[in-house]
């Protein structure tokens, strides 16, 4: 089955009705996160590149319609209008790697209503999952305070695609490498890996295993020392490493127990053996909280390898995100539901150094000294430029992270900045809300530009 059928059934039923009713005017949908998860001072925008790949090849085929018809238990003829429908709209989005906050659109889609509706499920899935994981990974980089962090999450992620995404997102936020061979080669990341406990157990003793591994791999090696007794494992590794004379780059890895205490004892043993340049790598259930605690305690750990908790964003595996209609056929629309109200019309987010972001109407004048976050990345169903690079996304991430407040950077109890709303958006929101509360059955005469004051906010 094609990616087109990877959608919720109600997207199909709504698109069918829109086509039957002739409702094919342009609609704008906004994808945003209502509230940041607990213990998050920021989010890292991610998932845009695969979303654009999907939109650029989106076309409903006769085979797709047969799948839809089977799911609906309807004759394929009832869905004939869907055949050939392709995405031909505009996408404005926050580039990957930039930091975003609650209420700010990560992307906005403007396209004929059936097209914009049918792509909702896929866009939400891509952007929400990847933004959640990228944000978790970014906090690990913060906690490590400059020490390398490596992705070991492939075997713990929810499928190989999620594992690939985790490696890619780690690359965006500054991870030093990944154990994922496919991702390393395809994305140009450093491949990183050592050995498993099963390897050690296959040999008569640890020292035999270490020597055999070193014979196979002529470069720097990392030896797993905690299969049996960690102190004895470090001693065996020291004897083998002293005989290698491989130069810098060799390491031992600790994967269980009290990592801080074991790292201190291991450092003493390695230094006493004259192996001051041998690094200590730690793994085993690490995330930003554990890394932060180890760094703050002064544990002599040189590299942190993260897996399960980071690859699935364990403490915040989902985002309270939405993809909501904000304008149709030139008419601003909004939702008034309790605790889930939305703001009408297409928007822009302006970032100002040292001040909160401003969420404004798309065409409002920018506040002095600000830059817009949303850029036009697709027109008429085609990208406006080449695919973005990991390196460019990392540069954006590093710049935004450097400018982030210390309160938002905290690992525990962060305080995210709260964006403000422009005068124009506030005014239009009030006008549309007032009209809906007076008589929601009467089409609004308000147009998107009516709420914009001269000169902007």
Band of pLDDT at residue 144, cut at 50, 70 and 90: very high
CA distance 206 to 49: 45
Give the CATH number of the domain where residue 443 resides: 3.20.140.10
CA distance 236 to 445: 80
- For CA atoms 234, 239, 243, 247, the dihedral sign is positive
Residues 249 and 322 in one domain: no
pLDDT attached to residue 1? 62
In a domain, 138, yes or no: no
Q: Do 282 and 379 share a structural domain?
A: no
Per-residue pLDDT tens digits for 343-359 = 999 999 999 998 999 99
Domains identified in the chain, total number:
2
Same domain? For 291 and 363 the reply is no
- Residues 250 and 241 sit within 8 Å (Cβ to Cβ): yes
Find the domain containing 247 and state its range.
193-307
Task: Indicate the residue among 283, 307, 331 that finishes a domain.
Answer: 307
Whether residue 457 is predicted with pLDDT greater than 70 in this model: the reply is no
- 151 domain-assigned: no
pLDDT band at residue 219 using 50, 70 and 90 as cut-offs: confident
- Do 239 and 357 reside in the same domain of the chain? no
Instruction: Note whether 212 and 230 are same-domain residues.
Output: yes
What CATH number is associated with residue 243?
3.20.20.70
SS3 27: strand
- 366 and 284 in a common domain: no
Whether residues 284 and 240 share a domain: the answer is yes
367-417 pLDDT tens trace: 999 999 999 999 999 999 999 999 999 999 999 999 999 999 999 999 999
Question: Does residue 456 register a pLDDT over 70?
Answer: no
Does 143 map to a domain? Answer: no
**pLDDT at site 448:** 46
291 and 321 together in one domain: no
Residue 413 zone, left/alpha/beta (φ > 0; ψ -120 to 50; rest) = left
Within this chain, do residues 447 and 321 fall inside the same structural domain, yes or no? yes
Indicate whether 145 belongs to any domain.
no
Regarding whether 320 and 294 lie in a shared domain, the answer is: no
Q: Which of 307, 327, 345 is the last residue of a domain?
A: 307
Whole-number Å distance between alpha carbons of 236 and 223: 10
pLDDT averaged over the chain? Answer: 94
Residues 340 and 282 in one domain: no
pLDDT band of residue 443 (cuts 50, 70, 90) is low
pTM over 0.85: yes
User: Please, which pLDDT band fits residue 450 given cuts at 50, 70 and 90?
Assistant: very low
CA distances from 323 to 28, 106, 117, 328, 426 (A): 10, 10, 9, 14, 20
Domain end: 307, 339, 364, which one?
307
Q: Is there a single domain that holds both residue 444 and residue 334?
A: yes
Q: Is a pLDDT exceeding 50 seen at residue 170?
A: yes
pLDDT value for 366: 93
């Amino acid at each position: 089955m094609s990616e087109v059928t990877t959608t919720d059934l109600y997207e199909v039923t709504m698109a069918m009705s829109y086509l039957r009713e002739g409702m094919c005017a342009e609609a704008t949908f906004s994808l945003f996160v209502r509230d940041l998860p607990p213990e998050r001072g920021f989010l890292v925008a991610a998932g845009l590149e695969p979303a654009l790949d999907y939109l650029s090849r989106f076309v409903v085929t006769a085979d797709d319609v047969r799948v839809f018809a089977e799911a609906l238990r309807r004759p394929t003829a009832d869905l004939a209008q869907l055949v050939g429908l392709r995405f031909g709209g505009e996408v404005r989005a926050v580039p990957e790697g930039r930091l975003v906050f609650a209420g700010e659109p990560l992307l906005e889609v403007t396209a004929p209503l059936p097209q914009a509706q049918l792509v909702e499920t896929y866009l939400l899935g891509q952007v929400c999952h990847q933004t959640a994981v990228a944000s978790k990974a970014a906090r690990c980089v913060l906690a490590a305070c400059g020490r390398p962090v490596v992705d070991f999450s492939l075997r713990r992620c929810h499928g190989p695609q999620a594992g690939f995404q985790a490696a890619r997102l780690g690359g965006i936020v500054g991870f030093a490498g990944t154990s994922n061979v496919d991702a390393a080669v395809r994305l140009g990341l450093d491949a990183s890996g050592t050995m498993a406990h099963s390897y050690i157990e296959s040999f008569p003793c640890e020292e035999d295993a270490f020597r055999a591994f070193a014979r196979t791999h002529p470069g720097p090696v990392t030896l797993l020392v905690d299969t049996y007794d960690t102190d004895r494992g470090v001693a065996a590794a020291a004897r083998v490493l002293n005989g290698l004379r491989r130069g810098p780059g060799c390491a031992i890895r600790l994967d269980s127990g009290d990592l801080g205490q074991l790292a201190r004892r291991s450092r003493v043993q390695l230094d006493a053996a004259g192996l001051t340049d041998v690094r200590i790598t730690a793994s085993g259930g690490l995330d930003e909280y554990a890394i932060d605690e180890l760094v703050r305690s002064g544990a002599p750990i040189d590299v942190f390898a993260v897996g399960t908790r980071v690859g699935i964003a364990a403490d915040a595996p989902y985002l309270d995100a939405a993809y909501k209609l904000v304008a149709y056929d030139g008419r601003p629309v909004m939702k008034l539901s309790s605790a889930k109200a939305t703001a009408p019309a297409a928007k822009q987010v302006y970032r100002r150094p040292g001040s909160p972001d401003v969420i404004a109407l798309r065409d409002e004048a920018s506040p002095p000294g600000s830059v817009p976050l949303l850029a036009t990345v697709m027109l008429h169903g085609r990208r406006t430029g080449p695919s973005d690079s990991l390196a460019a996304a990392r540069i954006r991430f590093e710049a935004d992270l450097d400018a982030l407040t210390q309160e938002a950077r905290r690992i525990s109890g962060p305080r995210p900045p709260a964006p403000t709303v422009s005068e124009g958006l506030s005014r239009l929101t009030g006008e549309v809300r007032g009209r809906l509360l007076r008589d929601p059955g009467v089409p609004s005469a308000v147009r998107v530009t009516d709420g914009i004051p001269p000169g902007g906010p």
